[in-house]
Chain A
Amino acid sequence: MRLWNFKKKTYPDYWEAYLLHFEKKEKKSLESSRFVALDCETTGFDFYIDRILSIGAVSIYKNEIAVVDSLEIYVKQTHFNPDSVPIHGILQHGKLEKCTEEDAMKQFLNYIEDAVLIAHHARFDIIMINAALNRMGLPKLKNKVIDTMDLYAKTRIKSNFIDQNAQYSLDEIAEAYAINLMDRHTASGDALIAALIFLKTTSLLKKSKSFKLKRYFLKSTMF
């Protein structure tokens, strides 16, 4: 059994490089942190069977979304679910340039560094990524994670006429905020919408003096 094996497990270099980013200890604020808004398109909703098809991500720093600092990867499909094709439009043998799952994770870790991750219904995306890491024998992501759903729900007024436990889809929020629904259901398009929702909700929420972004970090036990 592994339990008795006290020898430290060795991880590939890119994982060690990723971990290194978390050793810096300076205190960070909303303005000085790097955020990465991301979205995964997958073959389905089963964390064990289904696989990531593509990851889209874009970074936010000092309240600006930097298009130049974005990531868009497509993964070669080992598992294929024809049912999901109409949603994401990614074919098993389409023309897009694709990489292996391991390559995708390498690029992804190298890109995110220690950024705070932002996604809509974040739990799903993070578990999908963790499952991919797990298949490569790697531990889970170390990054802090924020769900834009939580931020949005907090901006809604407290009213008995609104279901306080309501779940809001990305479409609903984009509609409420009149964000153009460009490229819905492409990973990058959804990541950009999540980034805009993040900018808008935080600018609303930070008006309250008691606002602390920390409170929105999801518990790591959720993943």
Chain B
Amino acid sequence: MKNTIAERIADFLKNFPPFDQFSKEDLYAIAQVVTITYLEKDNMVYTAGEALHDKFYMIHKGAIALTKEINSKVETVDRFDEGDVFGLRPLFAKENYATNAVTEEESILYGIPLATFKPLISQNKDVVDFLIESFASNTENPFSKEIHGSLYDHRLEVLANDKELFELQPVRYIKKVITAKAHTKIKDIAVLMQKHKIGSILIEEDFIPIGIVTNVDLRNKVITGEHTIEDEVKHIMSAPVLCYPKGVSISQAQLTMMKHNISHLCVTADGTPNSKIIGVISQNDINVMRGSNPTVLMKAIKRSQSTKQLKHIRKKIMVLLKGFVQQNIPLTQTSKIIFELNDATIKRIIERCIVKMGKQPPVKFAWMSMGSQGRKEQLLQTDQDNAIVFENVDAEKREDVRAYFLLLSKKVNKRLNEVGFDFCPADIMAKNPKWCLSLDEWKRQFNQWTSNTGDDEILLSSIFFDFDITYGDANLTNELSDHIFDITKNNTMFLSKLAASALRSASPLGFFRRFLVEKDGEYKDFFDIKKRAIMPIVDAGRLFALSNQIKNINNTAERFEKMAELFPANEELYLSCSYASKALLKFRTKHGLLHNDNGRFIEIAALNKEEKMKLKRCFNTIARIQESIKLKYNLSNFK
């Protein structure tokens, strides 16, 4: 019987070690007995101490972390990605699992039965050699990335970060080394650097490193006039090159660089300058691996060449965020930095997708981010909300133009999802034809929402009016914001409906000052901080911004600060709103990081007294601002 599924699985397997060493027949034999499992994020594949499964695993999609309890603290000892194999060594060692295998994101795993695998490898010397080599080294993944350079030749490997182990981890070096010959002209060296966006080039002869030339050499020895760009590079290169074998630890590499005041090391087969070049270690890449520096991350985002890299960088951004929150850095600064990094990530994705489209956009356009990203309040990864506005075009051309942007958006939305911004469950995304409109179409849409206003229109307005330009032509978005202020100015009907909706979730405290918790569903007895606390204050901020024509400020805290400035009489109330919005956001972020989710639902029982007090203070502020909205918009009947 033909088995198409097994054939496709075999096609996947053969791309990754050790299966690239298998014959077609053997691969097919394995593929036929594979089991496929789907696991959500934060699920255990196996736990430490558990009896062995009869199979090991390969990641088809997703990521796995191996964790272990060290000194009563759970630490991640290794991480695996698509195409990696895990859980094999324990099967050979015949001992119970020593680590937990946890899904770091939702994953699809192939289970490969040992009973089929084992007999096949005994005749395959290459595979056996691999196994021996890797089991001897101290890693769980026998087919570690260093061994299989060809598959992992990303210019920028971003290593998973575990501070405890970090310094002693071996450096992951760049394997795709750009080299040149000693007689290459300096001019051509500079062109090569520009093309690959790199700062240094190794000079080799028969794959042996004989020198290295960096940005600094160009600056100090060429631009100064000492040499011309027509000279050969051998006159300006530094030699000999400092070489190390692979496996050098991060701290050792850093110390060497500091000692010699250089930014690159060469990795050779035996660690001396007399053997073949196998890679380069750069100061920059170590910094990225370290992941504690926003500037380096920003550089990495801008240089990224694949969605996968961006996904790794996103993980680093989360590490950074965690650090900020732990060190109690003021939220205003934290959210600005995280916003910039998110913003750069989205920009980079759009940039790359335009290249992928194969032709430039037919007219000017702007990519708008809405919701929390638009308000610069997105700290944890939440859903993506976005839309496109494009220049007005003649009616007969409009659908062609829209078709271009819809296709572009489809690519961008898909990649944002891969990087970690989930699809919007309500389809508020630029790939939805309803939200990919020309400037005039948007204006008409906004007119309709503000003139014929029902509950849906209010909800849509509250999503779409908080937009921020992420990419493209700012004139378009400016015109759109001006339009919003034009049509809402003195539109008392609309504003009072918006006011009423800002009151729709009543004070988060019930009778007897108890927290109102969810009554049903997955989050029964949890407190929904987004719905009951953050949204009311965000809604209030938007209402005040619109009714007082506060332009170009989307951030809730900043909107209230502006209000305090405009109305000194109520300064105290507005400033406490500003404070509350920051405090609530921080609260949510902290809890999201703690539980590795979006932090929306909070377990009241797990809060300490101080936290509860803090929350209640914020709620008092919400109650006061809601009271003032009621008075102002004459909504006293509104409950």
Q: Determine the distance from Cα of A120 to Cα of B4 in the docked complex, in whole angstroms.
A: 19
Interface stretch of the complex, out of B212-220, B399-407, B423-431: B423-431
Q: Which residues of A contact B37 (CB under 8 A)?
A: 63-65, 199
- Chain A interface size, as a band, is 35 or more
- Chain B interface size, as a band, is 35 or more
B36 touches A65 (CB 8 A): yes
A196 touches B4 (CB 8 A): no
Partner of B38, one of A160, A180, A186, A203: A203
B414 touches A196 (CB 8 A): no
B111 touches A176 (CB 8 A): no
B4 touches A203 (CB 8 A): no
Q: Determine the distance from Cα of A188 to Cα of B522 in the docked complex, in whole angstroms.
A: 34
A182 touches B417 (CB 8 A): no
In this complex, the member of A67, A157, A207 whose beta carbon has the largest number of chain B beta carbons within 10 angstroms is: A67
Is there a chain B Cβ closer than 8 Å to A140's Cβ? no
| Minimum CB–CB distance for A150 against chain B, Å | 18
A189 touches B4 (CB 8 A): yes
Q: Determine the distance from Cα of A186 to Cα of B5 in the docked complex, in whole angstroms.
A: 10
| Nearest residue, chain A, Cβ from B2 | A72
Q: Determine the distance from Cα of A207 to Cα of B417 in the docked complex, in whole angstroms.
A: 23
**A72-B425 contact, Cβ under 8 Å, with A203-B40, A207-B522:** no
Q: Determine the distance from Cα of A156 to Cα of B5 in the docked complex, in whole angstroms.
A: 29
Is there a chain B Cβ closer than 8 Å to A10's Cβ? no
Q: Which residues of B contact A209 (CB under 8 A)?
A: 521-522, 524
**A208-B5 contact, Cβ under 8 Å, with A65-B37, A175-B414, A200-B38:** no
Q: Determine the distance from Cα of A16 to Cα of B414 in the docked complex, in whole angstroms.
A: 49
Is there a chain B Cβ closer than 8 Å to A42's Cβ? no
In this complex, the member of B4, B521, B524 whose beta carbon has the largest number of chain A beta carbons within 10 angstroms is: B4
| Minimum CB–CB distance for B36 against chain A, Å | 4
A67 touches B5 (CB 8 A): yes
Q: Determine the distance from Cα of A63 to Cα of B107 in the docked complex, in whole angstroms.
A: 13
Interface stretch of the complex, out of B26-34, B492-500, B611-619: B26-34
Is there a chain A Cβ closer than 8 Å to B15's Cβ? no
| Minimum CB–CB distance for A171 against chain B, Å | 12
B414 touches A67 (CB 8 A): no
CB-CB contacts of A39-80 with B at 8 A, as 1s and 0s?
000000000000000001010000111111011111000000
A-B contact number at CB 8 A: 89
A171-223 at interface with B (beta carbon < 8 Å): 175-176, 178, 180, 182-183, 186, 188-189, 192, 195-196, 199-200, 203-204, 207-209
**A161-B460 contact, Cβ under 8 Å, with A72-B2, A178-B418, A183-B4:** yes
B4 touches A56 (CB 8 A): yes
B2 touches A157 (CB 8 A): no
| Minimum CB–CB distance for B376 against chain A, Å | 24
A192 touches B521 (CB 8 A): no
**A161-B427 contact, Cβ under 8 Å, with A189-B4, A203-B40:** yes
| Nearest residue, chain B, Cβ from A204 | B40
A161 touches B426 (CB 8 A): yes
A64 touches B5 (CB 8 A): no
Is there a chain B Cβ closer than 8 Å to A162's Cβ? yes
Partner of A199, one of B33, B38, B423: B38
A79-129 at interface with B (beta carbon < 8 Å): 96-97
| Minimum CB–CB distance for A157 against chain B, Å | 4
Q: Determine the distance from Cα of A208 to Cα of B522 in the docked complex, in whole angstroms.
A: 5
**A157-B426 contact, Cβ under 8 Å, with A64-B37, A67-B35, A188-B3:** yes
Q: Determine the distance from Cα of A178 to Cα of B107 in the docked complex, in whole angstroms.
A: 11
Q: Determine the distance from Cα of A173 to Cα of B264 in the docked complex, in whole angstroms.
A: 47
Is there a chain A Cβ closer than 8 Å to B1's Cβ? yes
| Minimum CB–CB distance for A211 against chain B, Å | 10
**A182-B8 contact, Cβ under 8 Å, with A156-B425, A157-B426, A162-B426:** yes
A186 touches B4 (CB 8 A): yes
Q: Which residues of A contact B9 (CB under 8 A)?
A: 67
Q: Which residues of B contact A199 (CB under 8 A)?
A: 37-38
Q: Which residues of B contact A165 (CB under 8 A)?
A: none
B32 touches A68 (CB 8 A): yes
| Minimum CB–CB distance for B56 against chain A, Å | 14
Is there a chain A Cβ closer than 8 Å to B6's Cβ? yes
Partner of B3, one of A70, A156, A207: A70
| Minimum CB–CB distance for A34 against chain B, Å | 14
B521 touches A67 (CB 8 A): no
Q: Which residues of A contact B460 (CB under 8 A)?
A: 161
B35 touches A72 (CB 8 A): no
Q: Determine the distance from Cα of A204 to Cα of B418 in the docked complex, in whole angstroms.
A: 19
CB-CB contacts of B515-538 with A at 8 A, as 1s and 0s?
000000110100000000000000
Q: Which residues of B contact A176 (CB under 8 A)?
A: 423
Q: Which residues of B contact A195 (CB under 8 A)?
A: 36
Which residues does B use to contact A, with CB under 8 Å? 1-6, 8-9, 31-38, 40, 61, 106, 108, 111, 414, 417-418, 423, 425-428, 456, 459-460, 521-522, 524
Interchain Cβ contacts under 8 Å between A and B, 29 examples: A56-B4, A64-B35, A65-B37, A67-B9, A67-B32, A67-B34, A67-B35, A68-B33, A72-B1, A72-B3, A72-B4, A156-B425, A159-B425, A160-B456, A160-B459, A176-B423, A178-B414, A178-B417, A183-B4, A183-B8, A188-B4, A189-B4, A189-B5, A192-B5, A196-B38, A200-B38, A203-B40, A208-B521, A208-B522
Query: What 3 A-B pairs come out closest when comparing CB atoms?
Result: A65-B36, A199-B38, A188-B4
Known contacts A72-B3, A161-B456, A188-B4; 4 further A-B pairs (Cβ under 8 A): A156-B425, A157-B426, A189-B4, A209-B522
